[in-house]
Amino acid sequence: MSGSGSKALIFAHGFGCDQNMWRFVAPAFADCYRIVLFDHMGAGGSDLSAYSPEKYSSLDGYADDVIELCREPEIQGGTFVGHSVSAMIGVLAAKKARDLFDTLVLVGPSPRYIDDDDYVGGFSEGQIHELLEFLDSNHMGWSRAMAPVIMGNPDRPELGEELTNSFCRTDPEIAKRFARTTFLSDNRADLAGVRARSLILQCSEDVIAPPCVGEYVHRAIPGSEFVLLRATGHCPNLSAPEETITAIKAFLSHAA
């Protein structure tokens, strides 16, 4: 925790990452907000001995952690900024504990990664299972192959390398389970129940959560705002922090 202000800003990282992924974004808000950074169970400095396969077999387990985390410092009416899978974790937490967050910022959200009838998630069911089987059989190889694709920005290989290293640092067994929880989840039905004022930040090119998915989330969350970033890839918090900061600040200033 850092920063100052009566309102809290909670930053939550995506799959295979940790709170360090927000290092270019979070400090920009420290003058006006109480900043909360944390590691999801299995990531970064989290206590691996507290991991429970049963609890974390669904995103609800991670949402319960967010609620507990925010109850300790008595956060109310805060802003939750969730990247990738943490976007849906934030949606679930906001529904379970409506007093915690007045606003949600969902960065590259996807309520379902698998195509389903008229819904386009970006992957066929077969592609997702192939991805998970690759991860199960070769965690390091999967990390080296997938991280640069997820990051995008091939002209800046150092970004893909950072994400690769982050994936490789994650506990392999927990990473495999979290991947299944992430890529097999379906949270489409949860979007209509969101009451917090919401911003969807969508990268213009994203192989993990393509623009049509961000637009779906925008349509499904009542009164939400949608911003299509010039940034490409799935991690604008690393590849385009200034653009990400500008979009979040504009949204928050409008809400004030």
| Rounded Cα gap, residues 156 and 222, in angstroms | 37
The H or E element containing residue 82 is strand 78-83
Task: Compute the distance between CA of residue 78 and CA of residue 10 in angstroms, rounded to an integer.
Answer: 7
Contact predicate 101/91, CB 8 Å: no
Q: From CA 171, how far away is CA 150, in angstroms rounded? A: 19
The residues carrying an active-site annotation are: 84, 206, 234
Smallest CA-to-CA distance from 69 within 46, 95, 103, 44 is with: 46
Q: How many Cβ atoms from other residues are within 10 Å of residue 20's Cβ? A: 16
66-72 contact pairs (CB < 8 A, 24+): 66/10, 66/12, 66/90, 66/93, 67/93, 67/96, 67/97, 67/100, 69/10, 69/36, 69/38, 70/8, 70/10, 70/36, 70/97, 70/100, 71/97
Rounded Cα distance between 219 and 224, Å, is 8
- Signed CA dihedral, 43, 47, 51, 56: sign only: negative
